[in-house]
Amino acid sequence: MDAPLEPAGAAPRANRLVLASASARRLALLQQVGIEPDSLLPADIDETPRKSEPPRDLARRLARSKLAAAELALHGSQDATPTWLLAADTVVAVGRRVLPKAELPDEAADCLRLLSGRQHRVYTAVCLLSPKGRRERVVETRVRFKRLSGRDIQGYLDSGEWRGKAGGYAIQGLAGSFVVKLVGSYSAVVGLPLYETVSLLDGEGYPVRAAWGAAA
């Protein structure tokens, strides 16, 4: 668990945002819209799909599990600051087939060959625990890749960008050149749907615009 980002002896805060993720992409997306989490609390959970589990349901279950694990880690804290706890998970699927988070070159190559020249779907679930209660959204985005040549696939494998990425690719990097069409939320494919996330936080009373003046 990452330590809180506040110095010892700091004045009590009016609110606190905890991101239940170690993803640099999700952190960067929040920072893009002027939101800086006070701490990061990655959740180590089993992400194995259940038998016949639809991709949308898998994304939702994993985001809920990350939220629950982070909530448990925070349980018993003496900090009475109002806290918003945010968790998310992204699943890439072709039909009902869930693609893995590739860790080996062969896994990534299999994903890329499957995605080549066809449409796939990306499901990103966002779960929020606030002082008011719990809310969640699941965002579905359709992405079509061009037909990938052997050189495309080998070059991408050589880049290493695929490692640890759902579906074996990162759309915000070199694989952006593979995308012929995208219908839905680009930021959801990166890892966090900004419109839905900010709407959830705003609706639950988190000051999403607090730092906008400072950014100017």
Residue 76's pLDDT is what? 63
In a domain, 2, yes or no: no
In a domain, 10, yes or no: no
What's the structural domain count of the chain? 1
State phi, psi for 160 to the nearest 5 degrees. Answer: 80, 0
Residue 104's pLDDT is what? 96
Residues of the chain with pLDDT under 70: 1-13, 76-80, 215-216
In degrees, rounded to 5, the angle at the alpha carbon of residue 19 between the alpha carbons of residues 16 and 22 is 145
Enter the pTM of the model.
Answer: 0.90
Residue 79's pLDDT is what? 65
The parent domain of residue 64 ranges over: 16-215
In a domain, 3, yes or no: no
Six-digit token string for 18: 């905890």
Residue 171's pLDDT is what? 97
In a domain, 36, yes or no: yes
Residues identified as active-site: 89
CATH number at residue 159: 3.90.950.10
Cα–Cα dist 142/181, whole Å: 8
